[in-house]
Amino acid sequence: MSGLNHPPSKSVSTANQSIQPQSYHVNSLGHACIGDMDLTELARTYGTPLYVLDAETFRSMAQTYTSALTEHYPESSLVLYAAKAQMNMGICKLAESEGLGLDVVSGGELYTAIQAGFPLENVFFNGNNKSIDEIELALHHEIGRITVDNPDELALVHKVAQKKGVKAQVLLRVSPGIECHTHDYIKTGQLDSKFGFNLSDLGPVMERITGEYKETIELKGLHAHIGSQIFEVRPFDDLIETLLNIYYNIRENYNGLTLTDINLGGGLGVAYTSNDDPMNVEKTIAHIAERLVAYANNLKYPLPRLMMEPGRSMIANAGVTLYTLGSSKSVPGIRKYVAVDGGMGDNIRPALYQADYSAIVANKANRPFDETVTIAGKYCESGDILIKNLELPAVEPGDFLLVFGTGAYNYSMASNYNRVPRPAVVLIEESEAHLLVRRENYEHVAALDVIPSYLLNPEPKADPAVQ
């Protein structure tokens, strides 16, 4: 992992291609800022580690997706923000204000959307092993679509819908056998995947949907998600052809059944370091839309409503994390470690995916580099390393490290490993900082613990020497 900070300036048209948030700049004090907020002062006010989101970047990406679909796709469309990237009630309201739908993958995410008052007709429920309680929650609140992942789940949705006397609006997620060049853990479209129906399963599934399930299941379309951090458009071309061929065959073989929705997933990449070269979102969406129109016309198939579900590309580069630098250790001839007050508990991705990040010292943002260091976390794991070989100015305890590109999957995957409380989340918009999630404390960490009564007043053990 190499930390490449201060990326070279280049002309960009979409925020996923820039490492920094759109409103990032350095002020006259040499401090990093988002909007009018000095991040050094923000760290002192809210404490560290601290997740910070730039509303301007999120809104820019939302508008890029929606406007590109509106301009290039002649039928209706819906952009679904993939909530697993980062979700709380404030982000739900931010997404709603931009006219986005939500892609949720758990009862907890769905409950958050419900509590936020999000328009539930624009909520799509993905996931590969939904519980009865989750399906009941979704059907009770009449969400937009349930994306069914496998035959067992289809049977479960049928059972719950039959019990409630409703007809579930569903998409079928398929595993299309399309691979993209990304990390193995974030590939999802290949044949050997835990997600989605195998294409060979669709015949028996369609027989059930048009037969014994016809009173409880209304099939609206197909869904496929081929992976994350995708830097090439070709897999989407292959996906469109694969799905539309299935749509055509369903119409031909099942009494003219015409599917009205198509969900092509998300996965467009972002820039974490200057080595990354992600696709321009506007141009990519235009290409996808035009390809879908052309192939549908070739098959003489009516255009379905087109859905995309970006998560990382919507929010990753809107987010940064602030840490306080602490102790250091030099290993002669090898490296210098500098520790921060967070680590794998608030950013598991370097340990899990070998993810790379870029960083600077927020209170020394325009100073020249003096040393190359490795940023270590505070967790009791040798693998708790955030960034290797990061060039920084001379640092000292109390400086603030600013890590870019942490809006996606950092807060979502945060844990209480080592019983460390999770950080707060702050949104910056209109020159103000707005708290989205309060910082946990030790009371929160221990709040659900229960000591069995027999351990509170244990019986004294007999002394073997006395017997």
Please give the backbone phi and psi of residue 160, each rounded to the nearest 5 degrees, phi first: -70, -40
Q: Annotated catalytic, 33?
A: no
Neighbouring-strand partners of residue 387: 375
Buried b (16+ CB within 10 A) or exposed e, 36-63: ebbbbbbbeebebbbbbbbbbbbbbbbe
Catalytic residues: 380
